[in-house]
Structure formats: structure tokens, C-alpha cells
Structure 1
Amino acid sequence: MITYAQALERLSAHARPLPGETCTLDVACGRVLARELTSPMNLPSFDHAAMDGYALGADDSLAAGSEHEVGGSQAAGDVALGAKRVAWEIMTGAQLPDGLDTVVPVECTQLLSQASDGMPARIRLQETITRGANVRRAGSDVEEGARVLAAGTRLDPSRIMLLSALGMARADVVRMPRVAIVCTGKELQPDLDRPLAAGQIYNSNGPYLRAAIAAMGAQLVSCDTVDDTADTYAQAVQRARDAGADLIVSTGAVSMGRYDFVPDTLRRLGAEVLFHKVAMRPGKPLLAARLGGGPLVLALPGTPMAVAVGFRFFVVPVLRAMLGLGSEPTLRAYLDTPQQPKAGLRHFLRATLAQDAGGRLCAAVAGLQQPFRIQPFADAGAWVVLAEDAGDCPAGTQVEIASVHPDSALAITPHHGASA
């Protein structure tokens, strides 16, 4: 049995970054950049008005009380015209007429006269205006040639907005990891529309893994539910290999019982076992292997929380490495509830998060932590992670936490009255 840190180190040595491919921006959300992006243009691409008003030139008087003839009008999308050293009515977003460099808001002016067509003809400034005010300069947001996004950045809606504004219709992204799922157990009913027969349970691990894999930006290539025999498991693994899986995640049959055939079956298939059993709770029997010239295999125990922990703390780091995302930052909170973890094991505990009266982030560990219980997981806002040498942890101890689901925000409930 090895420690969690040792297990991650061995996995990292086999989780190879995937190659890049080009995709259009309309399907790029959630994908990870394979290379750095630089700006092909200035943003904004021209000087333009930040609000409705009148554009004035550097040689004009900008003092309160000064009067100005209005030579024309400029709306967003109009071609810039020469202003001929007069004021110019201008709308938000419109390009500044040539020779003008300041915009006075319309509410800071008095209209003195109008032309026959109703257009402003002469105005008076009611306030002194600072030269260059209310103008968005070309390149003030992004300069041409500047680095926009680094390799390893996941594209989210805000980044799609940025790339769209820069006219970047395509991006080089990391190929999506291809993942296969194999759930073992003759008691499993994978069809949620069918009634349960005697001794059956619905397969919740498969749907959970499908959803979690999709949320990580990976591609599911197969999802099998097989019985408790080595042959059906081997056939499912082979189907996953044939489908081009980079990673196979299986559940169940990985411990030391008479029906726990996964370790021997993988060896029979020529796999190199990287480790079997990790000093942690839940999920200690977890196994990792690499099939010769093929995918990584992470074989998780079948209990629901062992699957959840195995995915969050083993599958996610592997997928992040394949995508070039790097390791996650360490987050911390203060315990609301004392804990006495067993020495020598890393504990992963479901918890809810809230802020105390002083604004500190606090974690209340759920009272029911048995690995078969799913409801506390659905209610949780985070995992509390207690290291192997954590010792007794009274209320107020600062501990490591992780989001319940990968690449999602921590779920924090509103302020509560307890103070750790």
C-alpha cells in the first residue's frame, strides 16, 4: 500500500499530454488551448466615443461657457469624417472624426440652436472638460501582438467573448481525452426505466462518471456494465482499447474477495500494475495500471463514495495532465466540526461550506460519512481532505478543501452564526 502522494507521482509519470487540433470558436467553449494566443489587432481597433455627446479637438476651448459650432453627426458604424475644427455630434461607439480627441457628454452641454433639419447647430459647454475625456483609445484594451491567453487555458464564455472581439474564428486546442467506463457487478441494473429484480440495484456509478467526464471536457467512447466474470470484463476493456480510449475507468471487483477479478485480469491482458491499494478512506483498494502500448486504467472500488473520491482525486489529475492544465491550487477552510481521523490514512470527507461572522470560510463535515451514502454527497459543497498525519483536528483547525466537482466553484451557503 502506498500513500496518496506516491500514487499521484506514479500516475503523473504515465499521464502524457495529448496533441493539439484546431476547432472553430462556436464549439470551443470548455476546450483547453494547446498554444499561446497573441492578438492579431488592436482592441478597440480605433479611437471611439465612450458616450453620447459632442467630439471636440485639441485646439478647441474646453472651458465651461465656451461655445462651439456643430459641423455634423457621427453614429456607430459610420466612416470617420474630417471635422474641420468644429464640434461634431457623436454617439457611443462611433469612431472619432479626424482631428478630434475629446468627447463632452450631451448632458454637460446646452443646445443653443438647431439646423432646419433638427440637427444641433451650436452648443455651449456647461462644465470644463479634461482633454481626452470620454474616449476609448485604440489598443487600450488589447494591443496588437500582445499575449491574449496562455497555453493550458480553458476557454469559458468570457474568453470566447475576447477571442470573438479580436476576430479569431479558430483556436488550437488540446484533443479531448477519450475515456471509457466499465462498471462491474451482476447486481447492477443499468436501465433506469426498468424495474429492479430481486437483489438488483440501479447503476448510479455509470451515470455519475458519464456526467463527471463530460464536465471535465473529455469524450466518452464507451460505457459498459458487465457481470462478475473476468471474461466479460476483459471483453469490455478490449472494446475500450478498440475505441481508442486514452483512459479506462472501471468500478468494482478490485479488492481481495473471490469475485474481485480485476487485478488478475489486467495482468493477463499484459497490463503493468502501477499500484494497488492506497492509504486513504474511502477507496483504499484502488488500482492503477497501463495496458502495454495502450491506455491507462484506473480501477475504482464499486461503493459510490469510493467512486466519487477515485474520480475527483485520481481521474481528474490524470485528465488535467492530459489536457495540459497543471495541478489545482490548494484551498483551505476552518473546521466547524472536530475530527479524529485514523492515523496513516488520507481522509476525504463530505462537507458543507459557509462563512462565519468574521468572514472566514468554514467547513462543517457531514455526520454520516459511510461510503454507501449518496445523499450527503449531493448536499455537500466541498471535500475536506485530512492528511495521513493530521492527528486530532479540533474545531477551528485549518484544513485543505476541494470543490465537490472538478472545475466548478465552491458551493458556499450564506453567512451562518457559528464561529469556529
Structure 2
Amino acid sequence: MISFEQALDAVRQRARLQPALPMAVDAALGHVVAEAIIAPESLPGFDNAAMDGFALSAAHLALPPGTSIPLQGVQAAGDGRSTLGAAACRIMTGARVPDGTATVVPVEDASVHQSPDGTQSLVLNTPAGEGMHIRRAGEDVRAGSCVLSAGTRLLPQHRMLFAALGISQVSVHASVTVAVLCTGAELVDAAAPLVDGHIRNSNGPYLCAALPAMGAAIALYRSVPDSAAAYVDAVREAERAGCRIIISTGAVSMGVHDFVPEALRVLGAETVFHKMQMRPGKPNLFAVLPSGALLFGLPGNPMSCAVGARFFVQAALRHMQGLPPEPPLRAVLQAPLRKKPGWTLIQKAWLAATMEAQLQVQVLDGQESFRIHPFAQANAWAVLPESEAELAAGTLLDCYPLQPFPEWPCAPTSA
């Protein structure tokens, strides 16, 4: 048997990067950027007023507060280039500042007086400093700068940036097309009545809910009869559908009906590993088909299936989309634990931050691989290292959210 870390490395080594393709930005959300995105223009595109007020020239700044300054004209948002003369002018938030503007004085810092002849004048209540309340061209983004690096998953906030910069198309990695095959004659759908000895299929619906959040596009979902021949047919159907990852549940242990290893021999697949020093999920199987598609044989127990998808399928999906390995969150163990050494334990857990901004993790009761209710109450997986037998309170553990953060670990890119 191989270790948890060796299994992850084996998956990443065999996952192949998806090709890059141009895509309209509205369709690209959720995809990963394949090439750095360069700003085609500056943002803002021109110097503009940060608030409603009055545009003043450098000559006006030399005047002491209380001096009457002629006031003429209005510069509104959307108005084009203009020039500030001897008079100050009203200006609205977001309006282009007239050429010759040295500062913008907020409405509340000045008074407007109107003469009998209708002319207006401005009196400053306080001294005005140069360059105040002006958003400079390129202050947010400079034309030609990198605004998003390759390997960033596109999220709604990026759509705002693209709209502001006039970017309508980006280069992203193609979605990874996935098949989900559920084995087990005992399985019935959620709405079907149960008969004696049958159980409802929970792994399939879970995978169909979890995989899209990891960047997968599910092209095939079906139940497979308990035979190697039926499994072979289903895998070939998935390959014809263009699936680059095929996930099956069940039939990978040592029972009479655990036919997946036999079916893989018929398919000519390379079995990279089958069984590891990890619980739950010891029987996890990973193989590469002659077509290059990756096949994950996940155990039928619900938590073994969930762990296999969260860590091994997710590792492949990240690599195929151009994302680096997912870094763990480091959290302080709240209560001491004992475990059998020689096994990595993936435990249902609750992760929380203290008022002092310290992450703490509580390992929950009900760790058996068949128990679903504690899983529904958890928000993270805690990884108990293979070499340890006793973990004291205060030990730092690697933890992972139950579902990966879509933006994790995008580092900020300076514009």
C-alpha cells in the first residue's frame, strides 16, 4: 500500500493540462485563466472628480479662505474635455475634471453666493489643498499591466473588472468532462420505494453536486449493473462521450462482486494504485485508460467516496485546469486524540476562528465511513498524519473545507 501523499503525487503526475481556448467572458466564469490578462486601457481612463463639488485652478489655491471666486458652468458625468478658466466650476462625482484643475473642493467646504445680476461666486470655508478629491487616470489599473495572472479561477468580481476595461474575451482552460458511474444492485434512486435489502444511492447525487464546484462538467451519469462486462461497456460509453475523468463508486474492495480490477484488465488500463494507508477510503483505486482518461474507483461507503473525490479527484481537476496544488489551512487541535500509527486519517471536523483570529479545529464524533449525518454537520476535513499515535491539544493540523474554495489559492495581482 502507498501513503496518502504518494497517492496524491501519483494523481498529479498523470493528470494532463486541459487545452486553452478563447471564450466570451460571460461564459468563462468558473474557468481558469490560461494566459495572463493584460489591461487594454487605463482605469480610470481620465482624471475625474471623487465627489460633488467645485473644480479650482492653481490660481484659486493661492487665495485665502473667504475670498470670493467667480463660479461659472457645470461639468457633469459624461461631459467631454473642457478647460477651466478664471472662474471655478461646479463638478459632479465621476465627471472628467477640466484641464487646468488643481483640486476639487467638496460641496460642504464652500458656500455659493448669487448676485442680483444672476452671477454666482464661490467662497471657501477652509483652505483647499492641491490635488484633493481627484481620481487620477490609471490610479486603479495602468494600461499594459497584468490584471489577472494565469491560474486564476474567474469569479463574479472579475466580471466587473473586465466590463470596466472593455474585455469581452479571455483565454481559459477547457472544462474537464467527467462521467459518474454508480455500481451496486442494491441501490435505488431517492424517490423510489425501498424494498428489503436495498438502500438509496447517496454517492451519485453527492458527486453530481460536488464536482461542478471543482470545475468539472458532468457528461454522463448512470447506474451500472454488478458485472465486469457492464462496467466495461459503461467506461467505453464515457470515453465516447469525451470524458477525461471517469469516476465509479463501489466494487473496488475484496468481495465476490468487487469486479472493477477485473474490468480494468479487460480495458487494458494501467492501475496506478489500489489501496492506501488512509482511512476512510483505503480501497481507493486510480488507473489510466489507454485513451489517457483517468479513472477513479471510489469505495461505496459514503465517507470513503467523499474523501476520494475531495482529495484525489480534486487533485486531478486542479492540475488539469492549471491550478497549483491546494494548500491546507493550518488549525489548532482543540482536544487531544489517539489514533493507530501508520495510517493517515481524514476526519470530519468543525473549523472556526477565535476572536484572536486563530483557526481552531474540533474533530467530530461519528467518524465511521458509513455515517452521513456527522458529515452534514461538518465544515472541514482534518488530516491526522500517518506517523502519529497521539495528538495533543494545541497540535497544528492540516485542514481543508468540505468543498474547495473556488478562488483558493489565487494570490492578489498588482496592477
The question of a shared fold, defined as TM-score above 0.5 by the shorter chain, is answered with yes
> Alpha carbons of 1:177 and 1:45: their partners in 2 closer, same or farther (altered >3 Å)?
same
Q: Which residue does 1:163 correspond to in 2? A: 162
Give secondary structure in 1 for the equivalent of 2:313: helix
- Structure 2 SS opposite 1:59: helix
- Distance in 2 separating the partners of 1:85 and 1:151: 50
Q: Secondary structure at the match of 1:212?
A: helix
- Whole-angstrom CA distance in 2 between matches of 1:116 and 1:25: 56
Unpaired segments ≥5 residues, structure 1:
411-420
Correspondences of 1:380-399 after superposition (within 5 Å): 380-399=378-397
Q: For structure 2, which runs of at least 5 residues remain unmatched after alignment? A: 409-415
Q: Distance between the aligned counterparts of 2:44 and 2:12, measured in 1?
A: 42
Q: Compare 391-400 and 55-64 and name the one that shifted more.
A: 55-64
Cα distance in 1 between the residues matched to 2:403 and 2:55: 52
**Per-residue deviation, 1:248:** 0.5
- Which 4+ residue blocks in structure 1 deviate beyond 6 angstroms? 114-117
**Would you say the 8 A contact 1:81–1:97 is kept in 2?**
yes
* CA–CA separation in structure 1 for the residues paired with 2:183 and 2:362: 34
Does the 8 Å contact 1:76/1:91 carry over to 2? yes
Q: Does structure 1 residue 122 correspond to structure 2 residue 121?
A: yes
CA contact 2:49–2:97 (8 Å) conserved in 1: yes
- The amino acid that maps onto 2:110 is T
Closer, same or farther: CA 114–6 of 1 in aligned 2, 3 Å: farther
Distance 1:61-1:359 versus aligned 2 partners, 3 A rule = closer
**Cα shift readout 1:147-206 (whole Å, capped 9, x = no counterpart):** 11000101111111111110001111110001111110001113x222122221111111
Q: Which residue of 2 aligns with 1:79?
A: 80
CA shift, 1:61, in A, is: 2.4
1:234-273 superposed matches below 5 A: 234-273=232-271
Q: Counterparts of 1:255 and 1:158 in 2: how far apart (Å)?
A: 45
CA distance in 1: counterparts of 2:321 and 2:306, whole angstroms: 21
- In structure 2, what is the equivalent of residue 67 of structure 1? 68
Following TM superposition, by how much is the alpha carbon of 1:64 offset from its aligned partner in structure 2, in angstroms? 2.2
Alpha-carbon contact 2:61-2:129 (below 8 Å) kept: no
- Structure 1 match to 2:91: 90
More deviation, 322-331/312-321: 322-331
- Whole-Å Cα distance in 1 between the matches of residues 20 and 319 of structure 2? 14
Q: What letter is aligned with 1:251?
A: T
SS in 1 for 2:317: helix
CA contact (8 A) 1:286 1:310 kept: yes
Could you say if the C-alpha distance between residues 407 and 254 of structure 1 is closer, same or farther in structure 2, counting changes exceeding 3 Å?
same
Q: Is the 8 A contact 2:61 2:130 kept in 1?
A: no
State the distance in 2 between where 1:86 and 1:197 align.
88
SS in 1 for 2:111: strand
Q: Deviations 1:268-317 (Å, cap 9, x if unpaired)? A: 11101111111100000111101112300010101000011001110101
Aligned AA for 2:86? R
Query: Which residue does 2:100 correspond to in 1?
Result: 99
- 1:113 maps to 114
Shift of 1:57: 1.4
Partner amino acid for 2:5? A
State the match for 1:366 in structure 2.
364
Normalised by the length of structure 1, the TM-score is: 0.94
Contact kept, 8 Å, 1:85 with 1:99, in 2: the verdict is: no
d(CA) in 1 for partners of 2:171, 2:357? 41
The reply to whether residue 275 of structure 1 matches residue 273 of structure 2 is yes
What secondary structure does 1:318 align onto? helix
More moved, 383-392 vs 133-142: 383-392
Give the equivalent residue in structure 2 for 1:288.
286
Q: Hey, what does 1:202 align to over in structure 2?
A: 200
Aligned to 2:375: 377
TM-score (norm 2): 0.95
3-state DSSP class of the match of 1:80?
A: coil
Distance 1:332 1:409, change over 3 A: farther
- Root-mean-square deviation (Å): 1.7
Q: Which amino acid aligns with 1:378?
A: A
Higher relative contact order (CA 8 A, sep 6+): 2
Give the partner amino acid of 1:301: P
SS at match of 2:86: coil
Measure how far apart 1:394 and its partner are.
1.9
Q: Structure 1 residue 408: deviation in Å?
A: 5.7
1:54–1:104 Cα contact (<8 Å) kept: yes
2:175 is matched with which residue? 176
Q: Is the 8 A contact 1:74 1:80 kept in 2?
A: no
Distance 2:177 2:407 in 1: 25
Q: Percent identity?
A: 45
Alpha-carbon distance between aligned partners in 2 of 1:409 and 1:377, rounded to the nearest angstrom? 23
Deviation, 1:358, is 4.5
1:229 corresponds to which residue?
227
Partner of 2:20: 20
Alpha-carbon distance in structure 1 between the residues aligned to 2:238 and 2:93? 56
1:342 counterpart residue number: 340
